[in-house]
Structure 1
């Protein structure tokens, strides 16, 4: 169905966003090649020129090495162009002001305007056509972390400077996914501490009774006051926090409630392995977690996106010795 796109079906029948979500990379590549040929015929231009314009519009330098998320964005862009061949390439997105200090995230690999409405590859927020989207650079450890899809402007620039509660939850989930302690900066510590203190009965929850978080709350306050770039929360404590927040009454919005429920579900599945995944093939770490997540009987926004993702660690502060060494170099 997706192998060839002819002039007869090169408009509204080009695969929709829902259909594109199920197409794998080889089929996408064939789909794009057929779409480029059809668009070139509609415009009366050489296919090579149309392909180059498409790559620029979709943020792709080399189609041969593009991953599935890049190919999907190319297909989205093609769909817009095939339905309106006279539409010019979208204007270059404005240069974004990045936060400084501990809230700063690495420079994105590519930034553009969304070709069509979609959802963020991290927080799942809806994105309107024309809004800023981008992709982060490939993770340093590709064996541990997976590349994220197209992110909304907030997740691309502000999630560590102006964290929402679900940003903190997502950070905790992906650290636990990777079998890692959770790294929070002062902004994130402030958000988490406020949330933990909202419900006066939170200390009565079974999870708090089994693993009191009093010391952790004090650490979060200290990190906030001292504006620490990094505060590590141990894996058992992070899991307790998730379960405590899930049981307390102070859940402010459906988005947080849905996300907490999904995290608790997947933590339980990692513990119980209801699908019977062979541990000898995947071990008990991130590879096993990914397989359980992929085969879950109850898909969620988390299982749809996969992972684990590298959500960035703040660089360690420069010491006086390092500064002196740099001055003397």
Structure 2
């Protein structure tokens, strides 16, 4: 019997190679459960969205089919989605995901890269579905529900990166403003960095503090200011490997590649906007976690909810 690859091998599959493996896996499962391939395909659609242009869905489907081969009873067992989990209140609240499920294997969040274990909740974040935004793959529980209510430093860097990617300015809710202020205040000598001296952010910090005090739902600052925050935090950060440090370095690398066209992208074909930036990410000579995930992704802005009727 043809075996379905292990999780690490599945993560390395892309494009046509992934499609061939997906088709072979469906044939294998159909033979194992004594049903036609069409019935297996219908079962997959019931368990998770399988959409031909999204490699992430095929990878998750491979993990699901592997679990069926390992435990055939799972194929016929009813499997309900994870459902709606409690969401934080206030400006950090995210819209409900479009789909949630329990992960079928070991994988990683498509947004933050955190490890996901079998049985963990994963889901699809609601997006605009229109350019420049690209549909995001399966995200972890934190990124689905809590990344704006209890943001980590990596969440701030990721939000800044995708806002720079889309070139729409950087938008933060008051909780994120507070976390960014704390990060700046806890970083020694950040105002002495070359990046800060070239583009002082003192007025931007005042705006962030005002937004925190007034609990302003959304505070926007320019693409240039976002780049300065990244450069100054990276320059002032002490040596040592941290998740946010790795991401800061990646953002710096990619923004420099965008500015200098280091990957020799034909601007006659791609222009100078998000398509050019996406093409640059795909061609970079030094892939990073950010370039492998792609984008830009729509990460949502705070919205004012209607008061509950007593």
TM surpasses 0.5? yes
CA-to-partner distance for each residue in 1:62-111, whole Å, 9 max, x for gaps? x4656222122111111222233233555642530022332121221110
Q: Distance in 2 between matches of 1:248 and 1:182?
A: 21
Tell whether the 8 Å contact from 1:177 to 1:307 is kept in structure 2 after alignment: yes
What is aligned with 2:90? 101
Q: Distance in 1 between matches of 2:51 and 2:149?
A: 36
Q: Distance in 2 between matches of 1:217 and 1:138?
A: 29
Deviation, structure 1 residue 173: 0.4
What is aligned with 1:119? 108
CA-to-partner distance for each residue in 1:34-89, whole Å, 9 max, x for gaps? 323322322234444333222222x22xx465622212211111122223323355
Deviation, structure 1 residue 273: 1.4
Q: Are 2:28 and 1:41 equivalent residues in the alignment?
A: no
Tell whether the 8 Å contact from 2:188 to 2:236 is kept in structure 1 after alignment: no
Deviation, structure 1 residue 177: 0.6
Unaligned residue ranges in structure 2 (runs of 5+): none
Q: Are 2:63 and 1:73 equivalent residues in the alignment?
A: no
Q: Distance in 2 between matches of 1:220 and 1:73?
A: 40
2:136 equivalent among 136, 148, 157: 148
What is aligned with 1:54? 44
What is aligned with 1:247? 235
Q: Distance in 1 between matches of 2:173 and 2:238?
A: 23
Q: Over the residues paired in the alignment, what is the CA RMSD in angstroms?
A: 2.3
Q: Distance in 1 between matches of 2:146 and 2:250?
A: 24
What is aligned with 1:84? 71
Tell whether the 8 Å contact from 1:115 to 1:129 is kept in structure 2 after alignment: yes
SS at match of 2:220: strand
CA-to-partner distance for each residue in 1:170-196, whole Å, 9 max, x for gaps? 100001011121000000000000011
Residues 254 and 289 (structure 1), Cα distance of their counterparts in 2 relative to 1, 3 Å cut? same
Residues 66 and 270 (structure 1), Cα distance of their counterparts in 2 relative to 1, 3 Å cut? closer
Q: Are 2:17 and 1:32 equivalent residues in the alignment?
A: no
What is aligned with 1:210? 198
Q: Distance in 1 between matches of 2:221 and 2:108?
A: 30
May I ask how many residue pairs the two structures share in their alignment?
305
Deviation, structure 1 residue 286: 0.6
What is aligned with 1:295? 283
2:6 equivalent among 2, 13, 16: 16
Q: Distance in 2 between matches of 1:162 and 1:230?
A: 16
Deviation, structure 1 residue 151: 0.2
Residues 269 and 25 (structure 1), Cα distance of their counterparts in 2 relative to 1, 3 Å cut? closer
Q: Distance in 2 between matches of 1:21 and 1:208?
A: 39
Q: Distance in 2 between matches of 1:298 and 1:47?
A: 41
Residues 315 and 64 (structure 1), Cα distance of their counterparts in 2 relative to 1, 3 Å cut? closer
With 190-199 and 102-111 compared, the bigger mean Cα shift is at 102-111
Q: Which has the larger radius of gyration?
A: 1
Deviation, structure 1 residue 309: 0.7
What is aligned with 1:221? 209
Tell whether the 8 Å contact from 2:33 to 2:72 is kept in structure 1 after alignment: yes
Tell whether the 8 Å contact from 1:36 to 1:78 is kept in structure 2 after alignment: yes
Q: Distance in 2 between matches of 1:287 and 1:138?
A: 18
Tell whether the 8 Å contact from 2:127 to 2:298 is kept in structure 1 after alignment: no
Q: Distance in 2 between matches of 1:44 and 1:155?
A: 39
Residues 219 and 164 (structure 1), Cα distance of their counterparts in 2 relative to 1, 3 Å cut? same
CA-to-partner distance for each residue in 1:248-293, whole Å, 9 max, x for gaps? 1368971011011111111111111122111121111111111111
